[in-house]
Structure formats: structure tokens, C-alpha cells
Structure 1
Amino acid sequence: MNPVLARSIGLPQYTAGVPGALPMADAPVGVILVNLGTPTAAEPRAIRRFLKEFLSDPRVVEIPKPLWWLILNGIILNVRPRKIQDKYASVWLPEGSPLMVYSRRQQAALAHAMQTRGLNVKVELGMRYGEPSLASAIDALRAQGCERMLVLPLYPQYAASTTATVVDKVAEHLRGLRSQPELRFVQRYGQDSGYIAALAAQVQAHWAEHGRAQRLLMSFHGLPKVSIQQGDPYHAECLDTAQRLTAALGLTEADVVVTFQSRFGAQEWLQPYTEPTLQALARDGVRTLDVICPGFAVDCLETLEEVAQGCAETFHEAGGESLRYIPALNDAPVWIDALADLAERNLLGWLPMRP
């Protein structure tokens, strides 16, 4: 509409950089990197606040709401924060939570990579639980003129309790907006060739420095077995990632063990479980073991405390000599390049054509 006519009848004008503006050909597009979230401090009050939000999500705990409310508020939130505060403290970095520190580094590295490629892309970080929130990430991008956004959850394998709940939370924020931005979502990247190559490079770098152990164990985050029975593709996607990584490393199935960690509660979860498998390997004469966690985009409590510390102790007590944890991809340059490729492919049609 003609600006003069718009003003004469009292209608707002579309202005680049103002939320709700029409996307211009030269306007920036946005990428929201999404991770799970973390307590803001390694102390009970912050841990309780984080767990309350996380464990109140009906996609995370799928049991009848009234029963779970009693368990969560009557037992878990009164006991677990103090029980696990030392675990958080054992991995806390000078800059804060490792999950937050490494996620921020990924955000900065991806933004730099896109800028180096000459792409007008803004990158924000949003946590599914806690801060910075997904709502704040969306609002920050709109304030920078982005009306087209790619939501990129840092979960390589899709699960309803991770990727789907990101979609839920984004939609919740959008319901309150009169003018909504255009959105695209990356559902998974566990089969992405760049991601597999980055994992392989991480393992090979570890071998070059420390030598190769007798076995390579790939430990994925667990999921209740009932979730798979209800149609969740997570288990199959983890096995697919493991097969691709095995092939990329030139290994055979005999060289690799795939397990699932972080079991919580009494119900059956995906098997084999990580810790019992470590014990069995040690009893069977395996003395050295390398462990990588391909389902985690950055190092966090589950990799640094549960695996690098707890699993190493379990393996040693069972007769093993050395369990070496291979760090997550974090901000490794080969992974940032692959992440930029992934983002750029999913932004096709929104970015100017390269000359």
C-alpha cells in the first residue's frame, strides 16, 4: 500500500527490523539453536527450579498427570536436587554449566561461519527449559529484522520427548503473536554425512593421541521402551547413527558396542543399559574401552559426570583398566562447518543466490 494512503487511514507501515514487517529480499534470516537447558547454578534451589520445569513436561514423563504431580512435588523435588548437586559441581566450569558454555560457543562459532560464507544469518540460542528461553530467542531475532527463522534443535536423533517438545514450545509462543514469523524446523540430523564425519574425526583424533582401545562403546541417552512401542523412531535412528559411524571408522560390528544410559524410574528402558554392559565387558576380559556419546551435541552432566566419571569408576571396579571418554563435538571446527552446511541447506529459498 502507498505509505501516504496508509498514514491517511491510520494503518501501520511495514518497516524492516520491526516485528511483523514483510520479509525483504536483503533482510536477515534467523537460526535458533535449541538445547535442553540447565540449572543456572550447581546448588539445590537452581536445580529444583530446572527439574520442576523439565519434569513437568507431559512429553518427558508420560504417566497420569495427577499421580505424577504427587510424585514430583512430594518426593523428587524435595530429594533429588540435594542428591545430585555434587554431581553438577563436579563438572561445573569456571564460566558456568558445561551445557550452557559449549552451547554458547556453538552459537558464536555458527554465527561466525555463516558470516564468513557471506550469508546474512543471525543466530540465537534458546533452551527448551530455563533460560535463555525459546520465546526470548524468537523475539531477539525479530528485533534484528528476521521474519524467517530456522529452528534447529541440537538433538541428532528425533524423539517426542526432545524434538517434538521444542515444536510444542515454539507453537505456544506463536499463539500469542498477532503477526507470526515464517518458521522451518530441522527434525533430525543423525544420518547427516557431515555430522557422521565430524564424529569420526573426533574418534580418530582421540586415537591419534591416546591409541585405540579394545572396544568402542557408543552410549546414547535412554528412553522408556513403551515410547518406542507407541511409535517413537528414536531407537532406530540411534542404531542407524551407530552403523554409519562404525562404517566411517572402518570398524566391524565386533569392534563396537551400542548401549543406552541415563535410565530413570522403575519402568523398562531401551537396552542394553550402559553400566551393566561395562561390567560384563570387564568380566569378559576387555581391559581398555573408548566411549563416545553420539546423541549429545555438547558435553553436559550426562557425558561428563555419568560417563566420564561414573562409568569409568564402574568399569574399573569390575576389573577394567581404562575407560577413556571421547568428548562431544562441542565447537570442534569440523562440526561447526557441518552445522553451517546443515543450516544453509535448510535455509534454501530464503537466502540470496550465490554468484
Structure 2
Amino acid sequence: MTDVNAPHDSSDSRHPEHAPADHPRVSPRKVGVVVANLGTPDATDYWSMRRYLNEFLSDKRVVDYPDWKWQPLLQLIILSRRPFSSGEAYRGIWNTEKNESPLLTITRDQTRKLADGLEALYGDQVVVDFCMRYGNPSTDSVLRRMQAQGCDRILFFPLYPQYASPTTATANDQAFRTLMKLKWQPAFRTVPAYFDEPAYLDALAASVEEGYAAAETPPEVLVASYHGVPKRYLMEGDPYHCQCQKTTRLLKERLGWRDEAIVTAFQSKFGPEEWVGPATVEHVAELARRGHKHIAVVSPAFSADCVETLEEIEEEIKESFLAAGGERFTYIPCLNDRDDHIAALLAVIRRELSGWC
């Protein structure tokens, strides 16, 4: 895998045969695979958080209100306050050893394992790297570096099992913006949603079974908590809500469970609109009021643990359940760099590289 902090080594580039003496040197042809995740601030201080949140919340895929209505509110009110609370949340989960967010650490680890797997399959024909939609390493810098390394075909893989406009689509948008600026565009493919891939479901089910086996007593209900979206998105044709519901159903079938053993909920509501529901933070409290003393929560929409899982679920949502009378709360980590998860991602990549490798 390319070191994302290292400059490109052009020692393998060469002068094209039969070309004029002043022709630029070119690198041997390769295939690039880029995995993309949401993003991360560079640090937890006010200005680092403000830069990150400004980029994130100015994205029309995330908040699609008109600029005249949204930007004054964002710049004058939200970004004067939210960087403090968001910074505090990130400080609670920050990887202090590497001075970076867990999402960055985990995505790098995933990419290294994917690179090892693809090298075993294709040798040095495939270059593997990762980028973030917001923050660093930027999509633009990674795609340009890949092209400089000779990648004339690039497979772009947003690490979101379910498709959504504010995740998959905006990651693709950012990649396309770079392509629009290149003199010589590489051939380009994007990976579709993979929530119903058998290997992914097997890995997800295995993580749940392991989480239940490790608990002192089995949880009474599993809450599959997905990041929420405004209900309007569903009405306008975004398939995310439906794909989340199907993910829960397929997971339940994989586990061989009865219907009432697993429920679907949505977290991270933002703004005044009606969002798809039920809201996780409210639903876990309702489960406690119904007499459930032990629940587990899993996050099938996240490929890597991040602030929404390590802080929101493990603190806010857990506290909501315990405050309503619950007694035991089990969080089942994201699939992260588990070997079965990496194997599932490799299976998707191999299929999408068909005809290229």
C-alpha cells in the first residue's frame, strides 16, 4: 500500500519507446483500488473541528437547504458552538498514541490488509490506498497520486454497505470532481452497495454471535442502529432506509432468530426535519421501560468504529437505556479489520475488478 504521507517515487517511470526525447516520463500501467470513508478532523481543537465541520455541513448531499438560508445559520451560529462539543466528543475517543481519530487508524489498518490480500492475488499490478471525503487524506490527493503511479484504471470503493446520498453519493461526487480536472482521466468504476453480499452478512452475523457469547448473560434484544437520514430522502427515492431494513432482515435470517429478537433503529438526528425512525436513543429507553434489562447494539451501516459508535452509542445511547431502567448494555463493535470482513471486501473488489485484472 502507498504511504499516504510519502511523496510519489517516480523511479519506476520510464521514457516511452519511440517517443521524442522531450516526452514526459510515464509509469508502468497499473490498476488502482481506492477505499473511501467519511472523514476525520486533523485534531480536536476548535479550529481543526471548525474546518472539518464546515466542509462536512457545507456539503449539499448532507444538508441540501439553499445557501442563503443555510450558510448564515451554519457560519454564525452552528460553527461558533458545535466545534466545542464535537471536539469534546472526539477527545473522548481519540487515539492519543497516533494522535488521530479511530476512524483514520482503522481505515488505514483495513487498507493494509486489503493491499496484502490483493498483492497475493495480483502481485504488484494493483495499487491500493484510502481517502476521506472530508479532511485528510483527501480524495483529490490520493487519486492524483495514483495516476502519477501509472494507474490508468481505478476502482473507487466507498466503505458504506448501504447506499445513501449523504455517504456513497457524496464520496463518488468528490472523486468525479477530481476526474473533471485531469487532462488524462483514468478509466473509473465505483463499487455499489454490498449490504446483501453473503460474505458480508456472514461476517456481521459472526460478530453478533461472538458478542453474545462473550456476554455474561445473553442480551434479550439486539438493536441494529443505523445512521439516520431525513424522511424526505426516502420519499425522494434514496434507497438507504429500505436497504437498512433489508440488512436487518437478512442478518436475522443468517442468525436464525425470531422476529422480536432484533429491531431496527436510526441514530444521529440533526436539524428540525422529520427523520426516519424509530430514533435509537429513544427506542432503547422504551425497551427498558418495557422490562428489557439487557440489550445489545450493533451498527451495520458503519464499516469502522467512529465517533457515532464509540461516543454516541457507547455513551449517549447507553446512558438513555440505563437511565430508563435497563441494567446491562452490550455494544458489538463494527467489523473494522476483522479477517472475515476483509475477506468479504476482497470478494467484492475481485468481482468489480473483473476484466481489469
TM-score, normalising length: structure 1: 0.92
Q: Residues of 1 paired with 2:43 and 2:324: CA distance?
A: 33
Instruction: Write the deviation string for residues 163-212 of structure 1: whole angstroms up to 9, x where unpaired.
Output: 11122111111111111001100121111111111111111111222142
One-letter amino acid matched to 2:140 = A
Look up the SS of the partner of 2:151 in the other structure. Answer: coil
Aligned twin of 1:341? 347
- Structure 1 residue 302 corresponds to structure 2 residue 304: no
| 1:3 and 1:13 in contact (8 A); partners too | no
* 2:103 paired residue among 99, 104, 124: 99
One-letter amino acid matched to 1:7 = P
Q: Residues of 1 paired with 2:20 and 2:223: CA distance?
A: 66
Aligned twin of 1:64? 66
| 2:50 and 2:83 in contact (8 A); partners too | yes
* 1:7 paired residue among 6, 20, 30: 20
Q: Residues of 2 paired with 1:156 and 1:164: CA distance?
A: 13
Q: Residues of 2 paired with 1:106 and 1:274: CA distance?
A: 28
In the TM superposition, residue 334 of structure 1 has moved relative to its aligned partner by: 0.6
| 2:298 and 2:331 in contact (8 A); partners too | yes
One-letter amino acid matched to 1:338 = A
Instruction: Write the deviation string for residues 19-60 of structure 1: whole angstroms up to 9, x where unpaired.
Output: xxxxxxxx4311100001011112221111100001111111
Q: Residues of 2 paired with 1:52 and 1:187: CA distance?
A: 28
Q: Residues of 2 paired with 1:345 and 1:295: CA distance?
A: 21
- Structure 1 residue 192 corresponds to structure 2 residue 194: no
One-letter amino acid matched to 1:49 = R
Q: Residues of 1 paired with 2:255 and 2:335: CA distance?
A: 16
Aligned twin of 1:271? 277
Instruction: Write the deviation string for residues 91-144 of structure 1: whole angstroms up to 9, x where unpaired.
Output: 111222011111111111110111123443211111111110111111222222
Q: Residues of 2 paired with 1:262 and 1:158: CA distance?
A: 17
CA RMSD of aligned residues (A): 1.5
Look up the SS of the partner of 2:135 in the other structure. Answer: coil
* 2:177 paired residue among 158, 172, 181: 172
Q: Output aligned runs, 1:32-111, within 5 Å.
A: 32-94=34-96, 95=98, 96-111=100-115
- Structure 1 residue 16 corresponds to structure 2 residue 27: yes
Aligned twin of 2:244? 238
Q: Residues of 1 paired with 2:213 and 2:278: CA distance?
A: 29
Q: Residues of 2 paired with 1:245 and 1:236: CA distance?
A: 14
Look up the SS of the partner of 1:191 in the other structure. Answer: coil
Q: Residues of 2 paired with 1:273 and 1:231: CA distance?
A: 21
* 1:316 paired residue among 307, 322, 340: 322
Look up the SS of the partner of 1:117 in the other structure. Answer: helix
| 1:52 and 1:77 in contact (8 A); partners too | yes
TM-score, normalising length: structure 2: 0.91
Q: Residues of 2 paired with 1:15 and 1:141: CA distance?
A: 12
Aligned twin of 1:328? 334
In the TM superposition, residue 3 of structure 1 has moved relative to its aligned partner by: 4.5
| 2:27 and 2:148 in contact (8 A); partners too | no
Aligned twin of 2:287? 281
Look up the SS of the partner of 2:208 in the other structure. Answer: helix
Q: Residues of 2 paired with 1:215 and 1:168: CA distance?
A: 38
Q: Residues of 2 paired with 1:280 and 1:3: CA distance?
A: 71
In the TM superposition, residue 14 of structure 1 has moved relative to its aligned partner by: 7.7
Aligned twin of 1:24? none
Q: Residues of 2 paired with 1:222 and 1:158: CA distance?
A: 13
One-letter amino acid matched to 1:127 = M
| 1:261 and 1:275 in contact (8 A); partners too | yes
One-letter amino acid matched to 1:133 = S
Task: Give the gaps of 5 or more residues in structure 2.
Answer: 1-15
| 2:222 and 2:297 in contact (8 A); partners too | yes
Q: Output aligned runs, 1:152-167, within 5 Å.
A: 152-167=157-172
One-letter amino acid matched to 2:223 = L
Aligned twin of 1:23? none
Q: Residues of 1 paired with 2:322 and 2:62: CA distance?
A: 33
Q: Give structure 1 regions of 4+ aligned residues with deviation exceeding 4 angstroms.
A: none
- Structure 1 residue 256 corresponds to structure 2 residue 262: yes
Q: Residues of 2 paired with 1:240 and 1:306: CA distance?
A: 24
Look up the SS of the partner of 1:291 in the other structure. Answer: strand
Residues 13 and 41 of structure 1: is their aligned pair in 2 closer, same or farther, counting only changes over 3 Å? closer
- Structure 1 residue 201 corresponds to structure 2 residue 206: yes
| 1:312 and 1:322 in contact (8 A); partners too | no
